[in-house]
Chains A and B, each alone.
Chain A
């Protein structure tokens, strides 16, 4: 059984640019959630995708958007990057026989200069 994978592992962007982060869910999972973890903080819920539809969103502006594909992999897109967007972006998958338990990937470390 393959765990949750994310790419890239690290990324450096400049303010105003756009970024796309990718996540492959764990085998058998149909739900993907994205979280932002600022340094020294707990993860903050961005949004969740269930069977290719957005299924709940946290307190993040519309420039944070996402997609889920038929194979349940997912993308997080952030437009007009700001310095405060620098963080670890975590993807978690759940569903199937695992139920609500969320399993996290290793994250993508984004630095905005």
Chain B
């Protein structure tokens, strides 16, 4: 059973545009929501993370918007650059003692010059 649904599967945006990637979750016990960036042949790298007590968090060009009532959260990338082309994963974990991450299926983002 997929507990974190991610969309779109792929996304093409022009340089300078604002790609938006969306995730929805089912498990109301989730309380930690990180986003990871993964380049081909590499491990996922943490970009930014949020908890349900805030509705938005910004770090550099990356912003997470969080809607607790809708059980949805999204990643916005401001002033996107070709170097942002990668696969992005949302994830979630619950305070059950082992903080295992449940990942979405990923979004392949391409930024065209």
Asked if B34 contacts A56 (CB within 8 A), the reply is no
- Could you tell me if B46 and A101 are in contact, using CB atoms closer than 8 angstroms? yes
Asked if A66 is an interface residue, CB under 8 A from chain B, the answer is no
A65 at the interface (CB under 8 A from B): no
A55 contacts which chain B residues (CB < 8 A)? Answer: 97-98
> Which residues in chain A, 26-47, are within 8 Å of chain B measured between CB atoms?
33, 35, 40-45
Tell me which residues from 57 to 113 in chain A have a Cβ below 8 Å from any Cβ of chain B: 58, 90, 92, 94, 100-107, 109
Docked-complex contact A48 and B100, CB < 8 angstroms: yes
Known contacts A90-B44, A100-B32, A104-B44: A42-B89 contact under CB 8 Å: yes
Bound CA span A94–B101, Å: 12
Cβ–Cβ contact B43 & A105, under 8 A:
yes
Asked whether, in the complex, the Cβ of B103 is within 8 Å of the Cβ of A56, the reply is no
> Which of under 10, 10 to 19, 20 to 34, or 35 or more describes the interface residues of A?
20 to 34
A41 x B99 contact (CB < 8 A): no
Using A90-B43, A90-B44, A107-B43 as known contacts, say yes or no to A102 and B101 having CB atoms under 8 A apart.
yes
Which chain B residue has the least Cβ–Cβ distance from A88? B43
Cβ-closest chain A residue relative to B6: A42
B99 contacts A94, C-beta separation under 8 Å: yes
Query: Would B104 and A106 count as touching, CB distance under 8 A?
Result: no
The residue of chain B having its C-beta at the shortest distance from the C-beta of A56 within the complex is: B98
| A42 and B105 in contact, given A104-B45, A106-B42 (Cβ under 8 angstroms) | yes
Question: Please, which residues of chain B bring their CB within 8 A of the CB of A50?
Answer: 98
Task: Enumerate chain B interface residues (CB-CB to A < 8 A).
Answer: 6, 32, 34, 36, 41-46, 49, 89, 91, 93, 96-106
Given A90-B44, A101-B34, 5 other A-B residues pairs in contact with their CB atoms under 8 A: A40-B106, A42-B104, A43-B89, A50-B98, A102-B99
